[in-house]
Every structure is written in structure tokens, then in C-alpha cells.
Amino acid sequence: MHLQNEIGTLERQLDAWDNYVTKQPKGYGNNSSMAKDLQAFPDRPNIIGRLLPLVQQYNDHVLSFARVRALPTASKHHIENLETWFANYPESVAPSERHDVNNHGDLFPVVPISKSPLFSLLERWEWLRNQFQKADRSDHLGLSEESHWSDTAFDTLATFLMVILGLTLLYAPIWWLNYVSSHEYQLGVVTGFSSLFTLCLWAAAGNRLFEILAGVAAYSAVLMIYRQVSNSGS
């Protein structure tokens, strides 16, 4: 608001000078030369010189806010970790300076990492986290409340599970259709496995509507083609 007021004030002064210049007789001043323009209207360039850094500051603030606003908010898991830390070490930050209290919506990860729903689900499994714990490093505090695990290991596990599940969803309905002759039964198999494939794609890709729809359409087309080939062969 302060910058907006300063910019608005200078803009009104600049508009007043522009209106004044347009009413001057022909030949007074020279808009093609900044030096002559400065001689004829010394206050106008000064206003422009004061206005430019203010506009730059305002644009920087707007762009900075837009970048921060685009960051995801802190997850419930991150907020719980933060509250646990302060519960164990209440003197680490003075209570009067803890601006996060009752303002969880203002928290965001400094380095956000995009995680699929399956990755997030696996990460919440405490037993699995213990299996992928990292060895202590020099930058670790070594506290009992502190634990570190490998995101690479979780990502590899999630990828492996999705590959196994994807192959199962591809070959299982093909074999099933091979032993089913009823058209209604075949359509039921295609519908059921396509719906299950949609859930698996969401677990792997997250909220990517068009990618999920494209994948399901391709998957359903493969099953329908095999159904037609199987029926024509029988």
C-alpha cells in the first residue's frame, strides 16, 4: 500500500507535467532530446527518476509474492514434525516470536518436493521408514527424536510397485478375456480393470487429470482390441 501510494502520487504529478507540456507553444522544449527536455522541464525527469525505482520495487514484491503463493502449503506431516520439535525443545524459539502458532496456513516447505500419493502413503509407514533409515552423518544432530530416511529408496520402491502392478493389470485381464465368451462378461472385465487402472494412475501421477484420462483411454483401447481379436479367433 505504501508503494502504491507513492507511485500514484508521482504518476499524478507526471500527468500534470504532461498536460502542461501539451499546452505549450510549438517549439518550446524538444521531446526528441532528453538533454533539451531536461532544460525546458527540469522537474519532469526528476519525477521519472524517482518513479522508476519505486515501480521496480513494486514489481519485485508482486513477483516475489506470486512465487511464494505458488509453493504448496506445509503438509500435516510437516506441521506435526514442527510441533513435536517445539514440544521437545520449548526454549529453542521464544514463544512471543513463534508466528507459526495458529497460522499453519502460512507455512510452506522451502524446497518443495513433488511426491505421488503412493510415495506419501509409503512414507507414512513407520516400519518402512525404519528399513530405509540413513546412516548418521556429520550434519546430523544425533538426537533420539531425529530420524532420516532415503527418499531415493522410497521412490525406487514406489516405482517398482507400480511396474509390478501395471504389468499385472495388463496381463491379468488379457488372460481373463481369453477364457470368457459372454460379451457382457467381457465388457465387465474391461470396465472393472479400467477403473482399477485409473486408481493406479492417480496413485502414481497424482492430480494430473488429462494424463490420467489419456492413459486410461489407451489402456481401455488395448483391452477392447484384444477382446475383438479374441472373439474373431473363436
pLDDT on residue 27: 60
Work out the mean pLDDT of the chain and round it to a whole number: 77
> Could you give the count of Cα atoms lying within 13 Å of 164 in the half-sphere of its Cβ?
6
Query: How many Å apart are CA 40 and CA 13, to the nearest integer?
Result: 17
pLDDT digits 0-9 by tens, 88-125: 777 777 777 777 767 777 787 777 777 777 777 777 77
- Is residue 199 within 8 A of residue 212, CB to CB? The reply is no
What is the per-residue pLDDT for 149?
61
Q: Between 111 and 164, whose confidence is greater?
A: 164
The domain ranges of the chain are: 2-70, 72-112, 114-234
Given this model, what pLDDT does residue 129 score? 66
Residue 77 CA to residue 54 CA, distance in Å, equals 41
Residues sharing a CB contact under 8 Å with residue 62, sequence separation 6 or more, in sequence order = none
How confident is the model over 206-216, as pLDDT tens digits? Answer: 778 888 888 88
C-beta of residue 174 within 8 angstroms of C-beta of residue 226: yes
Of the two residues 145 and 158, the one the predictor is more confident about is: 158
Range of 11-25, 101-115, 218-232 with top mean pLDDT: 218-232
pLDDT given at position 33: 59
